[in-house]
Structure 1
Amino acid sequence: MADHGGGADLCSVSVVSCLLLACGYVGSLDHPTVIKRRFTSVLIVSALSPLWVWVWRQYTGFKTGPSLLTLLGIHLEGILAAACFPLLLTMVLFVGPLIQLVMDYSWDLFDGLKMFLDPRCWAQCLADMRWMRNQVVAPLTEELVFRACMLPMLVPCTGLSRAIVTCPLFFGVAHFHHVIELLKFRQGTVVGIFLSAVFQFSYTAVFGAYTAFIFIRTGHLIGPVLCHSFCNYMGFPAIGAVIEHPQKLMIFFFYVLGVVLFLLLLFPLTDPTLYGTLAICHLTKPETSTSVCT
């Protein structure tokens, strides 16, 4: 990587750029009467965010190297592996909840496949604004803005490993405006609102670090998007329900098995050699890229 001038100035520009993107994106998507309106504003911000990265490249001097789209993880090289392996890895982590879901519903495999292939089912989903928000709009736009656009701006300043941890903080901090709204309208006790905010921040930070890791290791946007959509569908594991389940020992076994297999497969299934050249590694010095790019 060429010398691009003062590190302090680069870091200031990168951090401010990420904060502006975060504040421009995050808003309430919760109430059904405003979902369509929020779709429009979020899609506009998301569409403009790559332009923001382009401006950042012009200002900081990172004009050479991979194209902007490649840097954002939008390219065809290794795309099949990028679409399958990270999603498979995430499903492995959710083996316990998936087994629990199968046991708690009376559908057999044939009925499930029949419903999955039924066009009427998909048409109903596409007409549901909440489903569109949780499974399509939020995963696509959040990963584009908070991973594909922010990580390239953070990596030259923080390095690859620190960027994985730093990037999710912008998403978590930006969501604290919900705390102000809840306090303003007195929707719960102060302690309850605070604990909810801490849990939400922790969960989004851990999940954001995971998808940032996938983005950097694969160099693709599609993997984080599909993993995000899957996790939105599954929700946070219902640990309390496991304790009260009649088959709790078996389900608990699969919970543990899923975590163990996930840790064993984390690096093999995100091996950069499966996905081609990692464009984001061009933004950092070789000696600081550690094992993320190798």
Structure 2
Amino acid sequence: MLGPEHGPVITQEEHAQTRCWVCVLSCFLLACVYVGSLYVWRSSLPRDHPSVIKRRCASVLLVSALSPAAVKAWIHWADVRVDASVWELMGVRLEGLLPAAVLPLLLTMVFYLGPLVHSAMENPDGVTGELQSAFDVQSWRLCVGDAVWLRNQVVAPVTEELVFRGAMLPMLVPCTGPTAAIFTAPLFFGVAHFHHVIEQRRLHKDSMRVILLVSGMQFLYTTVFGAFTAFIFMRTGHVVGPVLCHSFCNSQGLPDISSALQHPQRSALLLSYVMGLLLFLVLLFPLTDPFFYGAIPVCSLAPPPSSVCQIS
């Protein structure tokens, strides 16, 4: 079709398709840069060696610091009109900060009710011992001095949530809408974890079949977890909740149901697992109700209707 001056006319549908391609490619490139930054340092040492951890942490922190610039560039390239700042779109804001930090973490702890009860049962001092351990200053000092702990509990949650949720979701929402973005963004997060195949293959720890099986399982649970934190981000408009939930889940690991099945108090323990799951499902929407968090900037990018962003 030609316009008045015999130039091609770009229809609204074509413009939307172009914007979607820009959104997806921007997310893909950002994921590649994040993972690629881990391998700019050549080393034959394993990934848990302190020097490797320090270098890789420096790399991902740099990528995370540059991620707002990537979102800003995307806003320009995709010709997006929005009143909120880049930081607000990425979930870094003050309004509703306290409930955004507390309620999603509480929700995650409810889900882990079974493992938490299991841990208390294994502790000779029971729940009191668990609480004392959680608030023991000396233990925290040892943790802060441990490079592996800092990577798993601080650097990885902060950088991954800022990049894979804070930066990517605003890019995807205008194209896919909020609900689809919740399930699309985690795919980049899950695929990004396949880089562990390179490490395992280099160290020759297992056969390729075992490595791929483990990586496939990791892709599955990181994608599911990514969908959960993306949901938290879209419902609260904050990145702090996903960061704290990520850190807590890293500290707990996957629930060890097989161990619970062999426990002497199996019935009580399994009941706590079931209760945790049921309470999690019941509280999922009430504890993430946008009522607690104010207007959600990223939702201003969503084409109507945007039910995930609405007060339930």
TM-score by length of 1: 0.93
Distance 1:35 1:181, change over 3 A: closer
| 1:166 corresponds to 2:184 | yes
On the 8 A contact 2:104/2:288 being kept in 1, the answer is yes
Distance 1:259 1:115, change over 3 A: closer
| 1:237 corresponds to 2:255 | yes
Give the count of matched residue pairs.
291
Which runs of 5 or more residues in structure 2 are unaligned? 1-11, 40-45
Matches within 5 A, 1:75-114: 75-114=93-132
Aligned equivalent of 1:16, options 16, 19, 25: 25
Q: Equivalents in 2 of 1:102, 1:283: separation in Å? A: 45
Q: Equivalents in 2 of 1:96, 1:174: separation in Å? A: 29
Distance 1:215 1:75, change over 3 A: same
Aligned equivalent of 2:240, options 199, 216, 222: 222
1:107 Cα deviation from its structure 2 partner: 3.2
Matches within 5 A, 1:110-189: 110-189=128-207
| 1:38 corresponds to 2:56 | yes
Worse overlay, 27-36 or 192-201: 27-36
1:4 Cα deviation from its structure 2 partner: 10
| 1:200 corresponds to 2:218 | yes
On the 8 A contact 2:123/2:130 being kept in 1, the answer is no
SS of the counterpart of 2:28?
A: helix
Letter in 2 for 1:103: M
Distance 1:131 1:94, change over 3 A: same
1:114 Cα deviation from its structure 2 partner: 4.2
Letter in 1 for 2:23: S
SS of the counterpart of 2:307?
A: coil
Letter in 2 for 1:31: D
Structure showing greater radius of gyration is 2
Q: Equivalents in 2 of 1:5, 1:51: separation in Å? A: 26
Provide the identity percentage: 51
Worse overlay, 91-100 or 63-72: 63-72
1:173 Cα deviation from its structure 2 partner: 1.2
Match of 2:15 in 1: 6
Letter in 2 for 1:155: V
Deviations 1:154-211 (A, max 9, x none): 0111111000000010011122222244345433123211211110000000000000
Q: Equivalents in 2 of 1:104, 1:37: separation in Å? A: 37
1:124 Cα deviation from its structure 2 partner: 1.4
Letter in 1 for 2:280: F
Q: Equivalents in 1 of 2:294, 2:235: separation in Å? A: 10
Matches within 5 A, 1:50-61: 50-61=68-79
1:278 Cα deviation from its structure 2 partner: 0.8
Q: Equivalents in 2 of 1:256, 1:109: separation in Å? A: 19
On the 8 A contact 1:219/1:275 being kept in 2, the answer is yes
Match of 1:292 in 2: 309
On the 8 A contact 2:178/2:309 being kept in 1, the answer is yes
1:116 Cα deviation from its structure 2 partner: 3.8
Distance 1:285 1:240, change over 3 A: same
Deviations 1:235-285 (A, max 9, x none): 001111111111111100010111011001101111111110011111012
Q: Equivalents in 2 of 1:113, 1:172: separation in Å? A: 33
On the 8 A contact 2:178/2:308 being kept in 1, the answer is no
Q: Equivalents in 2 of 1:34, 1:42: separation in Å? A: 12
Q: Equivalents in 2 of 1:273, 1:37: separation in Å? A: 41
Deviations 1:109-159 (A, max 9, x none): 554444444433222111101111111111111100000000000011111
SS of the counterpart of 1:281?
A: helix
State the structure with bigger RCO (CA 8 A, min sep 6), 1 or 2.
1
Aligned equivalent of 1:259, options 255, 263, 277: 277
Q: Equivalents in 2 of 1:186, 1:147: separation in Å? A: 33
On the 8 A contact 1:4/1:61 being kept in 2, the answer is no
Q: Equivalents in 2 of 1:231, 1:156: separation in Å? A: 30
Distance 1:75 1:25, change over 3 A: same
On the 8 A contact 2:120/2:130 being kept in 1, the answer is no
Q: Equivalents in 2 of 1:196, 1:65: separation in Å? A: 44
Q: Aligned Cα RMSD in Å?
A: 1.8
